Amino acid sequence: MPDHFAKDPAALLDYSWDWSDWLADTADTISSATVTVPSGLTAVGSPVIGDTLVTQRVSGGALNVSYRMVCQITTAGGLIDERSIYLAIADR
């Protein structure tokens, strides 16, 4: 799954972190997730946990600015890991 995206400043979109390969290697499941978005972006609602995906709806962003969003999960087995997604804000 890609980790770099272009987003229009007016767009309200969902972004997902795919943990399937890592979870298969650990034989574990996601029990909780936290998504951190930087100032300038807005997380709309709470992250949604699927079987192996964590999805966060995001709005905002300043034109020509890049942002890093971080998803941290805790597994049922107590493991903690995090991944980043990068958004470049541009007119689309």
Number of domains the chain contains: 1
Question: What mean pLDDT comes out for the span 79-92?
Answer: 96
Per residue in 15-65, pLDDT (tens digit) is: 999 999 999 999 999 999 999 999 999 999 999 999 999 999 999 999 999
Q: 14 is in which domain, residue-wise?
A: 4-89
Confidence (pLDDT) at 21: 95
75-89 per-residue burial string, b: 16 or more CB within 10 A, e: under 16: beeeeeeebebebeb
Report the CATH number at residue 45: 2.60.40.10
Residue reference for tokens 């941290």: 72
Confidence (pLDDT) at 2: 78
* Spatial separation of the C-alpha atoms in residues 62 and 51, rounded to whole Å: 33
